[in-house]
Amino acid sequence: MNNNPVQRPPIILCDATLRDGSHACSHQITLEQIRLYATAAEKAGFSFLEVGHGNGLGASSLQVGESLESESDMLRTARQCLRNTRLSVHVIPGFATIQREIANAIDLGVDLFRIGCHCTEADITQRHISHVRSIGREVWGVLMMSHMASPETLLEETRKMQSYGAQGIVLMDSAGAYFPEDVTRKISLLVEKLEIPVGFHAHNNLGLAIANSLAALHSGATIVDGTAKGFGAGAGNAPLELLVAVLKQQNFPTTVDLYSALDATELGARLFAGNLPNSTGITIVSGLAGVFSGFAKPVQRAAKLFGVDARDIFYELGKRKVVGGQEDLILEVAEQLAKLAGKPQK
């Protein structure tokens, strides 16, 4: 009988606390919070620490929310705290330009650029991915709202990113809508057909972030994201403290020290107290409807304005397959629901 433990590939563990967590506090993370948390993340040994506005480079604006601190100051502060943990940023073409935001991030020492788009729009990432690769920095492709596309479509889109020069691929469950069998089916196909590492970024709307992350890893993914205490939009992300513990128990090799990771996430709980995620009727329904839970606050405002149920708004947004950038439809949907219910217009 072979009693040797299963030999697993090294896992790249990405800490998105200081980027995805920005959604949870209306992008008001301070430089002192960045300094303290980045120092703890470095000690814990996370592979990457992602920093910046919740929507990525160049996204600070009245439309999606203004950051408390400048992008340059946030990246510079984090960079000064990191030695072995590498600094990463999220990039959505349209928010970030090559000449301005990406050039500035390069000057500030960013190690990894994760170029993201809606799951069927990989074409828009070509210039950004190709540019970052051409100057010798690491670049990954990220498909957001990936629950909205079939495995075959995701393969087609990720193959495009690979051809542009992406050195890794991450599927984002932006709405927290996946079940483990969905993850297994999609990740397995990408792992089989692509020539670059594959990863998964979970949200916790249905309480499945850890289960889905584990399903991705058992399907061959070697990149996985999490945040301290799940700090992120709506119901939040895969809690890092649980993710690290599960990886250790399942014998997945990482560069992370368990106790230091637990200390870092406890620090995160203190730093971001009052903004940590929790499961509510709104976040659950947003997951069931397949709608980005970052819409929760504007949906609740619209529901109050028109006197309708916020959950009904989420279900209708899901029927329309609304994605980020279509926030204007929230008020339209709320108004239509009010008319159907015979509510007086305000």
For the domain that residue 300 is a member of, what is the CATH number? 1.10.8.60
- Residue after which a domain boundary falls, among 253, 271, 289: 271
Q: Are residues 253 and 332 in the same domain?
A: no
Q: Are residues 177 and 62 in the same domain?
A: yes
pLDDT band (50, 70, 90) for residue 325:
confident
Residue 329 confidence (pLDDT) above 70: yes
Q: What confidence tens digit (pLDDT) does each residue in 68-102 have? A: 999 999 999 999 999 999 999 999 999 999 999 99
Q: Are residues 100 and 172 in the same domain?
A: yes
Q: What confidence tens digit (pLDDT) does each residue in 31-74 have? A: 999 999 999 999 999 999 999 999 999 999 988 889 999 999 99
| Domain-located, residue 188 | yes
pLDDT band (50, 70, 90) for residue 1:
very low
Estimate to the nearest angstrom the gap between the alpha carbon of 239 and the chain centroid: 12
Q: Are residues 158 and 28 in the same domain?
A: yes
Q: What confidence tens digit (pLDDT) does each residue in 194-251 have? A: 999 999 999 999 999 999 999 999 999 999 999 999 999 888 999 999 999 999 999 9
> Bridge partners of 65?
61
Work out the angle at residue 279's Cα, subtended by the Cα atoms of residues 117 and 178, and round it to the nearest 5 degrees. Answer: 45
Q: What confidence tens digit (pLDDT) does each residue in 86-143 have? A: 999 999 999 999 999 999 999 999 999 999 999 999 999 999 999 999 999 999 999 9
| Domain-located, residue 346 | no
| Domain-located, residue 155 | yes
Q: Are residues 44 and 155 in the same domain?
A: yes
Per-residue pLDDT averaged across 157-181, rounded? 97
Residues annotated as part of the active site: 23
Q: Are residues 29 and 153 in the same domain?
A: yes
- Residue after which a domain boundary falls, among 271, 296, 316: 271
| Domain-located, residue 96 | yes
Per-residue pLDDT averaged across 327-340, rounded? 91
Q: Residue 30 has what pLDDT?
A: 98
| Domain-located, residue 6 | no
Q: Residue 4 has what pLDDT?
A: 54
Residue 282 confidence (pLDDT) above 60: yes
Q: Are residues 74 and 156 in the same domain?
A: yes
Instruction: Label residues 126-155 b or e (16+ Cβ within 10 Å = b).
Output: bebbbbbbeeebbbbbbbbbbbbbebeebb
CA separation for the pair 113, 93 (Å, rounded): 12
**What average pLDDT is seen over the chain?**
94
CB contact set of 97 (below 8 Å; sequence gap of 6+): 58
Residue 278 confidence (pLDDT) above 70: yes
Structure tokens at 84: 């072995």
Domain extent at residue 219: 12-271
Q: Residue 137 has what pLDDT?
A: 97
| Domain-located, residue 1 | no
Q: Are residues 285 and 152 in the same domain?
A: no
Q: Residue 344 has what pLDDT?
A: 64
Rounded percentage of the chain residues whose pLDDT exceeds 90 = 86
Structure tokens at 285: 């329904």
- Residue after which a domain boundary falls, among 244, 271, 298: 271
The backbone torsions φ and ψ at residue 276, rounded to the nearest 5 degrees and listed phi first, read -70, 145
Structure tokens at 36: 């303290």
Q: Are residues 170 and 286 in the same domain?
A: no
The backbone torsions φ and ψ at residue 127, rounded to the nearest 5 degrees and listed phi first, read -65, -45
Q: Are residues 144 and 78 in the same domain?
A: yes
Structure tokens at 141: 């492709």
Residue 5 confidence (pLDDT) above 60: no
Estimate to the nearest angstrom the gap between the alpha carbon of 145 and the chain centroid: 10
HEC letters along the chain = CCCCCCCCCCCEEEEEHHHHHHHHHCCCCCHHHHHHHHHHHHHHCCCEEEECCCCCCCCCECCCECCCCCHHHHHHHHHHHCCCCEEEEEECECCECHHHHHHHHHHCCCCEEEEEEECCCHHHHHHHHHHHHHCCCEEEEEEECHHHCCHHHHHHHHHHHHHHCCCCEEEECCCCCCCHHHHHHHHHHHHHHCCCCEEEECECCCCCHHHHHHHHHHCCCCEEEEEHHHCCCCCCECEHHHHHHHHHHCCCCCCCCHHHHHHHHHHHHHHCCCCCCCCCHHHHHHHHHCCCHHHHHHHHHHHHHHCCCHHHHHHHHHHCCCCCCCCHHHHHHHHHHHHHCCCCCC
* Residue from 1, 72, 14 nearest 46 by CA: 14
Rounded percentage of the chain residues whose pLDDT exceeds 70 = 97
Structure tokens at 127: 């210039």
| Domain-located, residue 128 | yes
| Domain-located, residue 7 | no
Q: Residue 292 has what pLDDT?
A: 86
Q: Are residues 126 and 178 in the same domain?
A: yes
Q: Are residues 238 and 300 in the same domain?
A: no
* Residue from 105, 115, 42, 109 nearest 71 by CA: 105
pLDDT band (50, 70, 90) for residue 343:
low
Per-residue pLDDT averaged across 283-289, rounded? 94
Domains contained in the chain, number? 2
